[in-house]
Amino acid sequence: MTATTDPDRLEQLEQRLRALEDERAIARLIASYGPLVDSGDAEAVAALWAPDGGYDVEEWQMSGR
């Protein structure tokens, strides 16, 4: 086994931290969707989506914000 240099170790830790932060942000986004829909705040719900995003459920479709 080779020893990991400090810069390599730091880079690995930064990558892991970024991945955890990304996962947490995604989880928060998913968790906020239902309550916002239930609140009837269409603008807040739309803000969750990318400007060019799409939503297609059964026969109901939306695109863009």
**Which secondary structure element, helix H or strand E, spans residue 28, and what is its range?**
helix 6-39
Instruction: Judge whether 2 lies within some domain.
Output: yes
Along the chain (65 residues), what's the average pLDDT of each consecutive run of 10 residues? 79 97 97 96 91 87 81
Rounded CA gap, 45 and 38, in Å? Answer: 10
Inter-residue contact 47 to 38 (CB < 8 Å): no
Instruction: Judge whether 28 lies within some domain.
Output: yes
Contact partners, residue 11, CB within 8 Å, separation at least 6: none
pTM flag (> 0.75): no
Instruction: Judge whether 46 lies within some domain.
Output: no
Tokens of 65: 């914000």
Instruction: Judge whether 23 lies within some domain.
Output: yes
Instruction: Judge whether 13 lies within some domain.
Output: yes
Please give the tally of structural domains in the chain.
1
Residues spanned by the domain of 19: 1-34
Instruction: Judge whether 63 lies within some domain.
Output: no
